[in-house]
Chain A
Amino acid sequence: MPLISLTNLHKSYGQNEVLKGISLDIEPGEVIALIGKSGSGKSTLLRCINGLESFQEGSILVAGTSVMDSPNQLRLLRQKIGMIFQQFNLFPHLTVGRNVMLAPTVVKKTRQGEAEALAREMLDRVGLEQKFDAYPGQLSGGQQQRVAIARALAMQPLALLCDEITSALDPELVNEVLAVVRDLARQGMTLVMVTHEMRFAREVCHRLVFMHQGRLHESGPPEQVFNAPTTAELQQFLGMQ
């Protein structure tokens, strides 16, 4: 059974139809890159998957639960799916450790000691255990993004959604974040990422999905997409990279 299943998804902002009937199944452990031009609807698609955006038509099932069932269902579902944002969105008033501990303690009611151990473990996974007591403002962008990943991992999600998570970083900080993502992919985490890092996508992803004007235009394994793009739009897109 697919972990995430989108069927005929339609989404409009007013008159502007941004997603025009998207169907996509994502298997557990699969690593998928969403690529496409600016405005093609990649972010909107990711945001629909964990209910940050509503949609008009179609359905989204995550581990068998519908995204649009009820606020309670939606909250349960969001615990199963982590999201990493371009702008990190760490909580500035909490230390790194507290950022990671917040959701386990508040949402899952994990006890303090247990949550702290969990947070240290997750921070260790992204190589930042020593920053437990630092504030986000004291970290570099790359470190902040790694904390954001640890924060999402602390909820022990089934999948992570990543929206251009290295786009706000200085070039020299991109690799430390990509290295963490690479590790996650190796460990079998289901990943759906919007990315412009084509070389990375080619190396890590099982499948590339090319979006164009609100549709899934072409998809396939990286070698196929890069070496033998069939549609003119994808050829043109790859030519621009």
Chain B
Amino acid sequence: MVYHFEFGALIPYIPVILHGVLITVELTLFGTVLGIIVSILCAWARSGGPLWLRVPVGTYVELIRNTPFIIQLFFIFFGLPSVGVHLNAIDASILAMVINLGAYGTEIVRAGITATPRGQREAGASLGLSGPQIFRHIVLVPALSRIWPALSGQVVIVMLGSAVCSQISVQELTYAASFIQSRSFRAFEAYFVVTALYLILALLLRQILRLGGKRIFPGGKAR
């Protein structure tokens, strides 16, 4: 039997696909921005923060890094309502992505902080800066610039991982694909197009992060 490709069959579903792209972008945008903020705060707590913060933050990081993303998502969406926390599917997805990126990002950012040459902190201290001032004005930006490529990679992983959110009926790109194929029975075409869109999104995201890095971190690469 010969399968006849017919991409034209997807035309009526273009709005569905575009909506999927939009939701995936939305999840990624919020997940990334908030996730990076969580990463920075937790990395600070783990490397220079007070002792009472280090253990809970360490536990969070290990818990998330050693369990599947889909379980984290289900826990938030299906588990939390039992204790009175009701989130809609999009908010639950964003929260899961933030928590997930935050955990991996913490370790990445921490590596950048640890690599700060001792002389940088000493120069700050000898000018009279306090510990938090040194972190904020001297350590943080070069640390981020050091690990920006690794962090960008993690952001892309999280963006691709958002496909899982279709499992709780978030109408993102993967949801669009399965919706289309169930209506039109054009599975090959639907998944082909969606795969291509993910690829384009991922490449775009990498490019944006690369250019963004150049803007945020002028002065060349910190060592």
Which A residues contact B (CB, under 8 angstroms)? 50-52, 71, 75-76, 78-79, 81-83, 85, 87, 89-95, 102-103, 106-107, 135-137, 148, 151-152, 155
| Complex Cα gap A136–B142 (Å) | 13
Across the interface, do B126 and A82 meet the contact criterion of CB distance under 8 Å? yes
Report chain A residues within 8 Å CB of B126.
50, 52, 78, 81-83, 152
Contact of A102 among B122, B130, B137 (CB under 8 A): B137
Across the interface, do A92 and B219 meet the contact criterion of CB distance under 8 Å? yes
Contact of B119 among A51, A82, A85 (CB under 8 A): A85
Contact of A91 among B125, B138, B218 (CB under 8 A): B138
| Complex Cα gap A151–B141 (Å) | 19
| Complex Cα gap A82–B219 (Å) | 25
**Minimum CB–CB distance for A232 against chain B, Å:** 36
> Would you list 12 pairs from A and B whose C-beta atoms are within 8 A, ordered by A residue?
A76-B128, A79-B127, A89-B117, A89-B120, A91-B137, A92-B219, A92-B220, A93-B141, A95-B219, A103-B128, A135-B219, A152-B126
Across the interface, do A93 and B145 meet the contact criterion of CB distance under 8 Å? yes
Across the interface, do B127 and A107 meet the contact criterion of CB distance under 8 Å? yes
Does residue B184 face the partner (Cβ distance < 8 Å to A)? no
Contact of B122 among A85, A91, A106, A151 (CB under 8 A): A85
Across the interface, do A103 and B219 meet the contact criterion of CB distance under 8 Å? no
- Please, which residue of chain A has its CB at the minimum distance from the CB of B145? A93
Q: A75-B130, A137-B219 are in contact. Are A89 and B137 (CB under 8 A)?
A: no
Does residue B222 face the partner (Cβ distance < 8 Å to A)? yes
Specify which of A137, A148, A152 lies most central, judged by the most chain B CB atoms within 10 Å of its CB: A137
| Complex Cα gap A67–B191 (Å) | 68
Total inter-chain residue pairs, C-beta < 8 Å: 78
**Minimum CB–CB distance for A234 against chain B, Å:** 30
| Complex Cα gap A52–B118 (Å) | 11
Contact indicator per residue, chain B 78-121, by CB within 8 Å of chain A (1) or not (0): 00000000000000000000000000000000000000010110
**Minimum CB–CB distance for B177 against chain A, Å:** 43
**Minimum CB–CB distance for B32 against chain A, Å:** 22
Contact indicator per residue, chain B 157-176, by CB within 8 Å of chain A (1) or not (0): 00000000000000000000
Does residue B37 face the partner (Cβ distance < 8 Å to A)? no
Which B residues contact A (CB, under 8 angstroms)? 117, 119-120, 122-123, 125-130, 133, 137-138, 141-142, 145, 217-220, 222-223
Across the interface, do B123 and A78 meet the contact criterion of CB distance under 8 Å? no
Across the interface, do B128 and A107 meet the contact criterion of CB distance under 8 Å? yes
Contact of B127 among A92, A95, A136, A151 (CB under 8 A): A151
Across the interface, do B127 and A135 meet the contact criterion of CB distance under 8 Å? no
Report chain B residues within 8 Å CB of A51.
125
Contact of B219 among A76, A107, A136, A148 (CB under 8 A): A136
Contact of B220 among A91, A137, A148 (CB under 8 A): A137
A sample of 7 more A-B contacts (CB under 8 A), given A82-B127, A91-B137, A92-B142, is: A79-B128, A85-B119, A89-B123, A91-B138, A102-B138, A103-B128, A107-B127
Q: A92-B222, A93-B142, A136-B219 are in contact. Are A102 and B127 (CB under 8 A)?
A: yes
Report chain B residues within 8 Å CB of A83.
122-123, 126
Specify which of A71, A78, A148 lies most central, judged by the most chain B CB atoms within 10 Å of its CB: A78
Q: A91-B120, A93-B141, A93-B142 are in contact. Are A52 and B127 (CB under 8 A)?
A: no
Across the interface, do B123 and A52 meet the contact criterion of CB distance under 8 Å? no
**Minimum CB–CB distance for B115 against chain A, Å:** 13
Across the interface, do B133 and A107 meet the contact criterion of CB distance under 8 Å? yes
Across the interface, do A103 and B129 meet the contact criterion of CB distance under 8 Å? yes
Across the interface, do A93 and B217 meet the contact criterion of CB distance under 8 Å? yes
Across the interface, do B119 and A89 meet the contact criterion of CB distance under 8 Å? yes
**Minimum CB–CB distance for A161 against chain B, Å:** 8
| Complex Cα gap A95–B141 (Å) | 13
